[in-house]
Structure 1
């Protein structure tokens, strides 16, 4: 790996992992979330930070890989869109307390992730594969968000 490739990978890791940690730290669930009626399939709170950290690493690596295809290429545009949607969800849900808007965001995120996988597959299968666990987690999180809307 060249020095410039390593630097660009580090930039992606700092942007995505750092951005995700910042969004998480500044938009905590708090008492409001603790007081919600939750579905039986709600995971324990301790699970979220390690899962999201691993996912953010995979998201960063996939973004770094598709960036090489060009900033105007469909995979990179979808990658940017999913990151915007991902980073928007926590402030909308945990700060604005809008589970309904959060559900719309997370469903749009899930669609964008699936489109990213589909569009990037022919050009970079590893980038597409890196998004598979992300798709599964966001599908699960979408069901959780939907259940929270119904129960509350």
Structure 2
């Protein structure tokens, strides 16, 4: 079972908007990460934040390949993992770098929406 346009959910955004959205989200993530690094001395868990950020970035970069070639459940689970790591990342940086944390939330919302789209593909294909 793979993704097919026959199973496309009605609420999936048009393809032309996806690239610009990711550009904005990656820019916000980069700014958030730089803000966090600038306060590294104030943040007791800065090494954890760096590890979480790198893990979620790797998972995020792997996801398009999984989305386009793997089974629905696999890609849906990858999205869930991304959201979990990103949420932990945002939570960990929230106190000392509130503005950096705020910049992560649109990414969390978008990835959650992508998970819903993924799940809709799965349901439509059943």
Please report the TM-score for the alignment, with normalisation by the length of structure 2.
0.84
How much does 1:62 deviate? 1.5
How much does 1:102 deviate? 0.8
Aligned with residue 54 of structure 2, among 68, 71, 80? 80
How much does 1:72 deviate? 5.7
How much does 1:35 deviate? 3.0
Whole-angstrom distance in 2 between the partners of 1:43 and 1:84: 24
Q: Which residue of 2 aligns with 1:58?
A: 28
- Matches for 1:34-49 after TM superposition, within 5 Å: 35-49=5-19
Superposed CA offset, 1:7-29 (max 9, x none): xxxxxxxxxxxxxxxxxxxxxxx
Whose relative contact order is higher, 1 or 2, with alpha carbons under 8 Å and at least 6 apart?
2
Unaligned runs of 5+ in 2: none
How much does 1:123 deviate? 2.2
| 1:101 and 2:74 matched | yes
| 1:121 and 2:94 matched | yes
How much does 1:76 deviate? 1.6
Confirm or deny: 8 A CA contact 2:3 2:121 kept in the other structure.
Answer: no
Q: Which residue of 2 aligns with 1:23?
A: none
Number of aligned residue pairs: 120
Unaligned runs of 5+ in 1: 1-31
Please report the TM-score for the alignment, with normalisation by the length of structure 1.
0.71
